[in-house]
Structure 1
């Protein structure tokens, strides 16, 4: 059996706020650590029937980037859900919510900039 290792390094500032996030996967073609401004990692605990999550973002993450990150994450979650369950209608509902979310975010940004 092959094992792949994913390493995540989070550098914190003096107040323990994430300053830099970098990651590397042993089965990746990238030789160097990849930088990121945000991350979401979720694990399913079957014994407790609960999700264990790690959500971090750096202080450099901009609000518009966070909205785009959430939009893309929700969209890919819908794709994953479809592959796992074959529930097209529910997947489509998730994608519609993601689009509505991003559209509302853009509207609020436009209103704030007026």
Structure 2
């Protein structure tokens, strides 16, 4: 069986606020750690039937980029949900909400 590993490294300041985040994967084309300014990780716990989640961002993450990050995360969650369930109608509703979110947050869609 093939295995892959994803590694996240978070450098914290003296108040435990993330200053730098990097990620790397054994399956990535490049083997170097790549910098990011935010990530969301959600895992499903089958035993307890709930989500384990971590959201982190660096203190340098601009608010406009955070808004865009949330918008794109919602969009890609719709893609994943459609692939996982085939529930096209509710994904169309989510897309409508994403357009509303983008409008309210003044995010240029594209």
TM category, shorter: over 0.9
Counterpart contact for 2:75–2:98, Cα < 8 Å: yes
> What are the ranges of 5 or more consecutive residues in structure 2 without an aligned counterpart?
none
Q: CA RMSD in A?
A: 1.0
State the secondary structure of the residue aligned to 1:90: helix
Provide Cα deviations, 1:32-57, integer angstroms capped at 9, x if missing partner: 11110000000000111100000000
> What are the ranges of 5 or more consecutive residues in structure 1 without an aligned counterpart?
108-114
The CA deviation at 1:7 is 0.4
Report matched runs for 1:1-114 at 5 Å.
Answer: 1-106=1-106
Give the 4+ runs in structure 1 shifted more than 3 A.
none
Instruction: Normalising by structure 2, report the TM-score.
Output: 0.94
Length, aligned pairs only:
107
The CA deviation at 1:13 is 0.7
